[in-house]
Amino acid sequence: MDYKRFEELARKIRIDVIKEVFNAGSGHPGGSLSAADIVTALYFGEMNIDPEDPQMEDRDKLILSKGHAAPVQYAALAERGFFDVDELATLRKMGSRLQGHAKMGLVPGIEMSTGSLGQGFSVSVGMALANKLDGKKGRVYALLGDGELQEGLIWEAAMSAGHYHLDNLCAIVDWNGLQIDGKNDDVMTVRPIDKKFEAFGFNVICIDGHDFAQIFDAFDKARECKDRPSVIIASTHKGHGVSFMEDQAGWHGKAPNEEQARQAVEELGGEW
């Protein structure tokens, strides 16, 4: 597979993220940039979806459990054709559909309102179980933050997913090592993640979350795994693609000023 198309799409989506958050004057650029390659692979390659029919029967679903990274999901949905790219400029504005945490029913392609960490993954497990019971083909993907794994209901949901053998569920952990208060390992370590998920019956796949070959290979392995859920632990860099944001916890939830935004867009190869 030629991954150049996906690399270009991810670059455009990162530029969209910077402009969204700058225009809003608030938001979460760091974790949006770290997840851009994964989200791009999902919306433009992996998932069975149709922008012309967002409620298509047997569609695949992405639940952004790390709901604060809404800018990257909005950007991907817009670039995929679910709504006009120009609407991205309304992020977090009064009256906009694009609120700081996505709300289902407002934006086509948003399957669940998320923001309270851990709840998105729990809902994903419920959706996957419902698909099993209803005989639906659609797969459910849940994108989690690594700091989010400090939430107890994550592990209750993981226990349920393993118990019910939800092989139509694929969790992806955006493992960038940072959260709003600093390093995950300093705030509350969640290691070893692979052993924890294995203990709950998951098929565990570890990858470089910025390498499209590894990302798509992981999705293939998850789809081929039967009788148990899968989790992809994707090592990433917070703020990936922007020199002054990369691996900096301070950019978890802060908007760039105009000079910084211009520099970021320039580094990503875009036009202001």
Q: Residue written as tokens 């999902």?
A: 42
**Looking at residue 122, what is its pLDDT?**
98
Q: Which tokens is 255 given? A: 């908007």
Residue 28 has pLDDT above 90, yes or no: yes
Q: Which tokens is 47 given? A: 């998932």
DSSP string over 221-253:
HHHH--SS-EEEEEE--TTTT-TTTTT-GGGSS
Average pLDDT over residues 1-26: 97
Q: What is the pLDDT of residues 66-93, one digit of tens each?
A: 999 999 999 999 999 999 999 999 999 9
Q: What percent of the chain has pLDDT over 90?
A: 99
CA dihedral 214, 121, 247, 5 (to 10 degrees): 40
- What predicted TM-score, i.e. pTM, was given to this entire model? 0.97
Q: What secondary structure letter does DSSP report for 181? A: T
User: How far apart, in whole angstroms, are the C-alpha atoms of residue 93 and residue 23?
Assistant: 9
Cβ atoms of residues 129 and 166 within 8 Å:
yes
Give me the domains of the chain, ranges plus CATH numbers.
4-267 (3.40.50.970)
Which is it for strands 169-175 and 203-208: parallel, antiparallel or unpaired? unpaired
Q: What is the pLDDT of residues 215-254, one digit of tens each?
A: 999 999 999 999 999 999 999 999 999 999 999 999 999 9
